[in-house]
Amino acid sequence: MAPRVIAVFGPTASGKSDAAVELAERLGGEIVSCDAMQLYRGLPILTNQPTAGELARVPHHLVSMWGLDHEGSVAEFGEMAHSAIDDVVERGRVPVLCGGSGLYLRAAVGRLEAPPQPAPGVRPRLEELYDRVGAGAAHAMLAERDPRAARAVHANDRRRVVRALELAETGASLSPERSTLWEHEPRYPTTVFGLDVPADEVRRRIERRTQEMFAAGVEDEVRTALEGAISHTAARIHGLQDVRALVAGEIDRSEAVRRLAVRTRQYAKRQRVWMRRLPGLISVRSAGELLERA
């Protein structure tokens, strides 16, 4: 019988980490994190990394691996995840994948066909171009080079316009006619559970967790991190810009808390969209139901 892999996906604050730890304990498993930002070390509070107690209960992989100056990619993560999963399987344990980054979960489960990497310096050049000519002109350039991507990306979405232009220079597209994202079979038989916790409950948990993060010292954590270099990918860590504004004195703590809570709720909505795209996902309403069905 082929080794079994279980994946736990869900929006932030849905309780997936607690459920994954308990599930791993029951099955004799180990956690393989599929969270894009927990890969970085130096911001454990902001990225909601496993607590000392959770690490003591169950081994965790792919947490706190990269320095904040590291330019990470989903392709690099995929290789690391495959290695970690193979190691767990070879030792007779059960890999329990856990995370809210849908693309990273897919890269861990199968062999993700990543777009070609642009040449060094292309992204900074395109970012400078976007800032110099403005959102409308940059989007018009995209419309000439890749009309399909231009229809899918708003002109004011600087990051995605730049990414689409970057891909266009390699001959790829942000919105290809035929997506290869889900074409490849899983490397191991994989059961994917999605925690579809009611939105009101997720909202309450987000509000509570945001307050707890500031009480735990996230402001000092970010202040220390800002003393060193931060890569483009690490700069996208959820909430970093909000706490950075607080550290810089641009906003007060109450405004930082409000912004981070709002941004987290928006992120949770996007994660729900990803959850609907995961093929074969088994939707559960609570951690208890997940544990019963696993």
Are 202 and 77 members of one domain?
A: yes
Q: What pLDDT is recorded for position 169?
A: 87
How many other CB atoms are found less than 10 A from the CB of residue 294?
18
177 in a structural domain: no
175 in a structural domain: no
pTM (global) more than 0.85: no
pLDDT in tens, 37-65: 999 999 999 999 999 999 999 999 999 99
150 in a structural domain: yes
For 111, residues 6+ apart whose C-beta sits below 8 A from its C-beta are: 78, 184, 187
176 in a structural domain: no
* DSSP summary character for residue 66: B
The residue among 136, 170, 204 that closes a domain is: 170
99 in a structural domain: yes
38 in a structural domain: yes
Are 152 and 219 members of one domain?
A: no
Of 23, 88, 33, 26, which is closest to residue 60 (Cα–Cα)? 33
Are 79 and 191 members of one domain?
A: yes
| Residue 179 vs residue 240, higher pLDDT | 240
Q: What is the mean pLDDT of the chain?
A: 89
> Residue 84 belongs to a domain with what CATH number?
3.40.50.300
For 213, residues 6+ apart whose C-beta sits below 8 A from its C-beta are: 45, 46, 48, 260
Q: What pLDDT is recorded for position 116?
A: 66
Are 99 and 140 members of one domain?
A: no
163 in a structural domain: yes
pLDDT in tens, 6-28: 999 999 999 999 999 999 999 99
Mean pLDDT of 226-252: 94
Are 97 and 29 members of one domain?
A: yes
Is 156:135 a contact under the CB 8 Å cutoff?
yes
109 in a structural domain: yes
Are 194 and 231 members of one domain?
A: yes
Are 289 and 150 members of one domain?
A: no
Are 129 and 254 members of one domain?
A: no
Backbone angles phi, psi at 266, to 5 degrees: -65, -40
Are 159 and 221 members of one domain?
A: no
Are 145 and 208 members of one domain?
A: no
Mean pLDDT of 93-106: 91
Are 224 and 151 members of one domain?
A: no
Q: Write out the residue range of the structural domain in which residue 188 sits.
A: 5-113+183-293
Are 136 and 100 members of one domain?
A: no
CA 209/CA 222 separation, integer angstroms: 17
Q: What pLDDT is recorded for position 184?
A: 60
Return the minimum-mean-pLDDT range out of 109-118, 235-244, 259-268.
109-118
Q: For residue 97, how many C-alpha atoms fall within 13 Å in the half-sphere facing its CB?
A: 36
Number of domains in the chain: 2
